Amino acid sequence: MRKLILSFFSAVLFIGCAAQVKEQETLFYPPLPQQPRLQFLTSITNEADIGGSTGAFKEFLLGTQTSQKAIARPIDIGASKDKIYVVDGQLQKVLVLDLKEKEFSYIKGKRQGKYFQPVGIWVTEDDIKYITDMQRKQVLVFDSDNMYIKSYGQTDMLEKPYDVAVYEDRVYVSDFNKHQITVFDKETGEITQNFGSLGQEEGEFYRPAHISVDNKGNLYVTDSFNYRIQKFNPDGQFVKVIGRHGDAPGSFARPKGLSVDNEDHLYVADAAFENVQIFHAETAQTLLFIGGYTEVAGGMYLPNGISVDYSNLEHFQNYADKDFRLKYLVYVGNMLGFKKINVYGFGDWTGDPLPGLQ
């Protein structure tokens, strides 16, 4: 784990190391000759970026206006085998990026499943989608064929549902206005628990937003206006605080999306610093950062949604350096700029020994 730690310098942390290596064909974090752990692979903005055509996106027609098959303002991301799902805040759609068929579409959500203001998404391994809708004040569920199944949250149960995460029989929902986490029973849809309240103490929130769970069921919450991440066990008991308000390594100015891998690496996007910091979820130690505001490959522009994906390596393997073995993917959504989804790969260096690592 210590090999992942990068020496930080606050003067360059929020500028991003990409600008220093813009002449390199391959962009690693940390850069060579240090042992790289992540590689910027590619970016996805329109259908052509996944090998598809660039025809009109008929589903998005408004009268005689046409729109290209492109992502506009990604605010959250999820993935399953051969699919990337993007909640688009400008189009007010949940886009489906089909990596196998190389085309864009969207979840239509008809009749009882009609959505209006999608914000957060959680995708299970069997391709079940849980989507928060602020206008409906519910969580909508769609199956692997994108057909509506059910919803969580009846009258007054949720006020402003921001994000959702699922673990075993629990459906966790962050309520931005109530400053709490609501837990539903996945089968019955009944509320089994509410925890959190307005405040700054441990276990309290000020505008909880993005949430995620790890493979042990621990819950991570972006406590937006307290500028920190809070970790809870599966039963909603407070565990620890990760990060703080400030401009030094390990601190936040506008914390947004977060995701955690199977090795306790916690990824947190910051829209002000325009990077993603990586923490050890058990120790809260700051390990590495990726991105930074820059116009070259790998840079970020108002990053928001983020997702770790183990299921689609085959679709991005050809972007990886021959001496770098991918273990999983990291998607980061940029709300502004020309590159909407950055795709990074976490992995191991398999080439010749690097200086100091023999």
Q: Domain for residue 288, yes or no?
A: yes
Domain coverage including residue 290: 16-46+125-349
In contact, 346 and 27? CB cutoff 8 Å: no
How confident is the model at residue 356, as a pLDDT? 56
In contact, 343 and 329? CB cutoff 8 Å: yes
How confident is the model at residue 57, as a pLDDT? 47
CB atoms within 10 A of CB 317: 12
Q: Are 211 and 151 members of one domain?
A: yes
Q: Are 80 and 136 members of one domain?
A: no
How confident is the model at residue 271, as a pLDDT? 96
Q: What CATH code is carried by the domain that includes residue 118?
A: 2.40.10
Strands 148-152 and 138-142 come out as antiparallel
How confident is the model at residue 15, as a pLDDT? 35
Q: Domain for residue 148, yes or no?
A: yes
Q: Are 115 and 216 members of one domain?
A: no
Which of these, 332, 278, 330, lies nearest to 305 by C-alpha position?
A: 332
Q: Are 79 and 135 members of one domain?
A: no
Q: What CATH code is carried by the domain that includes residue 139?
A: 2.120.10.30
Q: Domain for residue 358, yes or no?
A: no
Q: Domain for residue 4, yes or no?
A: no
DSSP output for 39-91: EEEEEE-BGGGGT----B-GGG-BTTB--BSB---EEEEEEETTEEEEEETTT
Cβ burial 23-32 (10 Å sphere, 16+ → b, else e): eeebbbbbeb
For tokens 């805040």, name the residue. 89
How confident is the model at residue 224, as a pLDDT? 97
Q: Are 114 and 232 members of one domain?
A: no
How confident is the model at residue 154, as a pLDDT? 85
Of 75, 96, 124, the position where a domain reaches its end is 124
Q: Are 214 and 282 members of one domain?
A: yes
Q: Are 187 and 272 members of one domain?
A: yes
Q: Domain for residue 264, yes or no?
A: yes
DSSP-based helix, strand, coil % in the chain, nearest 5: 10, 45, 45
Q: Are 230 and 207 members of one domain?
A: yes
Rounded Cα–Cα distance for residues 92 and 196 (Å): 29
Instruction: Mark the ranges of the chain whose per-residue pLDDT is less than 70.
Output: 1-25, 53-68, 356-358
pTM: 0.89
Which of these, 267, 338, 256, 266, lies nearest to 300 by C-alpha position?
A: 338
Q: Domain for residue 335, yes or no?
A: yes
Show contacts of 92-96: CB within 8 Å, 24+ apart.
Answer: 92/116, 92/117, 92/118, 93/60, 93/118, 94/118, 94/121, 94/129, 94/131, 95/71, 96/146
Of 94, 124, 154, the position where a domain reaches its end is 124
Overall domain count for the chain: 2
Which of these, 179, 186, 150, 187, lies nearest to 165 by C-alpha position?
A: 186
How confident is the model at residue 353, as a pLDDT? 86
How confident is the model at residue 275, as a pLDDT? 96
Q: Are 213 and 331 members of one domain?
A: yes
How confident is the model at residue 68, as a pLDDT? 66
How confident is the model at residue 25, as a pLDDT? 67
Rounded Cα–Cα distance for residues 219 and 210 (Å): 11
DSSP-derived 3-state class of residue 316:
coil
Q: Are 174 and 321 members of one domain?
A: yes
